[in-house]
Amino acid sequence: MGSESVPRLDVVVIGAGLAAAKAVIALRENGHDGAITIVGDEEHPPYERPPLSKDFLMGKSAFDDALVEPATWYDEHDVRLLTGRTVEILDLAEHSVTLSDGESISYDKAILATGARPRVLDIPGAELARTLRRVEDSEALRESFASSSSVVVIGGGWIGLEAAAAAREAGVDVVVLEAAPMPLQRALGDEMAGYFADLHRKHGVDLRTDTGVDSISDSAPGDGGPYTVTAGGDELTADLVLMGVGAVPNTQLAESAGLTVDNGVVVDERFATSDPDVLAIGDVARARNTALDESVRVEHWDNAIKQGRAVAKVLLGEDVVYDWQPYFFTDQYDLGMEYVGHAGPSNDVVVRGDRSSGEFIAFWLDGQRLTAGMNVNIWDVNDDIRALCGRTVDRERLADPDVPLTALIEGEVAGG
Ligand SMILES: Cc1cc2nc3c(=O)[nH]c(=O)nc-3n(C[C@H](O)[C@H](O)[C@H](O)COP(=O)(O)OP(=O)(O)OC[C@H]3O[C@@H](n4cnc5c(N)ncnc54)[C@H](O)[C@@H]3O)c2cc1C
């Protein structure tokens, strides 16, 4: 640990989301004594977004529960938190940032943690659809669920499906339109994507796959709906339209500064951009992952946390690299799951347990090599699955619930 040998650095963090907060918390916890400023364009202290499509959307949790730290934490730890302000210029030569209110702040090291924003389809009437990224979006959606009887969700990705589950819970009729043959197909492959499709249909969702959307229109313009969605030759009417078709990294600032950008701000395994004094983490960063031996941009909660903590250690001179398997989770209806690893599209699936019971583990394999695993309504096993990622495994033993996962790990270690 090199904090004593590292010069006092003034750090500016651009963006005040989860990755940013975790970075500054880890800096202070590990003894960083330089100035720290975080600048965020939202009006709130950093908060976690997963509840926005789950408990918070369903009215089961409060916004304060989503704060990474209470608002007072930042002052107490001598962190200057500037909310409601945008960083408009990143000047690499001057080592400074300029904010929307004209203030200029100089830095020794800057961390780009600008996250991502909802992707919007280029179709007529796209502006009539809601998106879900910020707390205000979730609040407005929750209120609309209470006064609506129908919603069309465009996109069967994680956020679309979680919002569909919340809408069903609120008693709203839901149509989900997915352009691909199955929802979540790219993330999970056919077999497990089919499991999620069945789950939603069982809960009364009208899930239409292979269905691209052509247009959205307001039946009574100016009255806020009902809306007509034209898709797959059909016209659907709904009180509300939600678009959940993925996210786009917020790279504009990095691009204007002249940093290398290619599906995210390109960084090495220690989060350095093409300028060594600017680092990037979280949803905006496409980082070299040494465990996967590829550059990946991961839009998940755990990635923001781990990269935030790791970048702090990099700045403190520690020997840390981005070397962990990606992880994410979801909650939909009574299904809770965690996924760890990085399966390829040609990987096949081995299931341990009975999927019809709703409690099982799915593993993805590339030949005999385990690439990822997903525990569904089974807990405290994700670390074991993580330990199995990248290993050669015996498929029969993997599928057998009587063989403990720890035995498989140990067996593999012993057996080389
Ligand atoms: C509704 C929802 C549900 C989710 N659920 C899950 C889940 O169940 N599981 C999971 O693993 N992941 C989930 N995620 C993903 C997870 O929330 C993100 O991966 C995480 O928020 C990324 O953190 P970040 O700090 O990189 O970016 P963000 O959280 O996007 O924060 C970036 C911040 O920077 C601000 N900003 C951008 N540009 C500027 C600028 N120039 N100046 C100042 N501020 C700027 C942005 O407005 C934003 O406030 C969910 C995301 C959403 C939206």
- How far is ligand 1, taken at its centre, from the CA of residue 19, in Å? 8
- How far is ligand 1, taken at its centre, from the CA of residue 328, in Å? 14
pLDDT at 103 over 60: yes
- What pLDDT does residue 416 have? 37
pLDDT at 1 over 80: no
Stretch 196-219: mean pLDDT: 97
pLDDT at 135 over 90: yes
d(CA 80, CA 119): 31
pLDDT at 10 over 70: yes
- What pLDDT does residue 290 have? 97
- What pLDDT does residue 414 have? 37
Contact 260, 280 (CB under 8 A): no
Contact 246, 119 (CB under 8 A): yes
Q: Provide residues with CB under 6 Å of ligand 1.
A: 14-20, 39-42, 49-50, 52-53, 86-87, 113-116, 132-133, 159, 250, 253, 282-283, 299-302, 304, 328-330
Stretch 115-142: mean pLDDT: 98
d(CA 180, CA 122): 17
Nearest CA to ligand 1 atom 26: 282
**Cα–chain center distance at 288:** 18
pLDDT at 27 over 60: yes
Nearest CA to ligand 1 atom 3: 50
- What pLDDT does residue 409 have? 86
Beta strands in 268-344 (DSSP E): 278-280, 285-289, 294-296, 327-332, 335-341
Average pLDDT over the chain, rounded to an integer: 95
Contact 281, 271 (CB under 8 A): yes
Instruction: Give 296-318 pLDDT, tens digit per residue.
Output: 999 999 999 999 999 999 999 99
Q: What is the rounded radius of gyration, in angstroms, for the C-alpha atoms of the chain?
A: 23
Stretch 128-141: mean pLDDT: 98
Stretch 95-119: mean pLDDT: 98
Closest-lying ligand 1 atom to the alpha carbon of residue 49: 17
Beta strands in 10-131 (DSSP E): 11-14, 36-39, 79-82, 87-91, 96-99, 104-106, 109-112, 116-118
For 152, half-sphere exposure in the C-beta direction (CA atoms, 13 angstrom radius) is: 27
- HEC readout, 172-208: CEEEEECCCCCCCHHHHHHHHHHHHHHHHHHCCCEEE
- With pLDDT > 70 as the criterion, what percentage of the chain qualifies? 97
Nearest CA to ligand 1 atom 9: 329
- What pLDDT does residue 345 have? 84
List the structure tokens of 147.
Answer: 């006064």
d(CA 291, CA 373): 16
- How far is ligand 1, taken at its centre, from the CA of residue 304, in Å? 8
pLDDT at 30 over 50: yes
Nearest CA to ligand 1 atom 19: 300
Q: What is the pTM of this model?
A: 0.96
- What pLDDT does residue 113 have? 99
Instruction: Give 368-392 pLDDT, tens digit per residue.
Output: 999 999 999 999 999 999 999 999 9
For 100, half-sphere exposure in the C-beta direction (CA atoms, 13 angstrom radius) is: 12
Instruction: Give 56-77 pLDDT, tens digit per residue.
Output: 999 999 999 999 999 999 999 9
Contact 404, 412 (CB under 8 A): no
Angle between helix axes 158-169 and 135-147 (nearest 10 degrees) is 40
Lowest mean per-residue pLDDT among 44-53, 85-94, 216-225, 238-247: 216-225
Per-residue pLDDT band for 411 (boundaries 50, 70, 90) equals low
- How far is ligand 1, taken at its centre, from the CA of residue 208, in Å? 28
- What pLDDT does residue 8 have? 86
Q: Phi and psi for 301 in degrees, rounded to 5?
A: -50, -50
Of 300, 305, 335, the residue with max ligand 1 atoms within 8 A of its CB, to mutate for a pocket test, comes to 300
Lowest mean per-residue pLDDT among 109-123, 159-173, 207-221, 256-270: 207-221
Residue of 346 and 56 predicted with greater confidence: 56
- What pLDDT does residue 412 have? 52
**Cα–chain center distance at 296:** 13
- How far is ligand 1, taken at its centre, from the CA of residue 326, in Å? 16
Per-residue pLDDT band for 224 (boundaries 50, 70, 90) equals confident
- How far is ligand 1, taken at its centre, from the CA of residue 111, in Å? 15
Stretch 90-118: mean pLDDT: 98
List the structure tokens of 345.
Answer: 């599209």
User: What is the residue whose two structure tokens read 């290619």?
Assistant: 262
Instruction: Give 228-248 pLDDT, tens digit per residue.
Output: 999 989 999 999 999 999 999
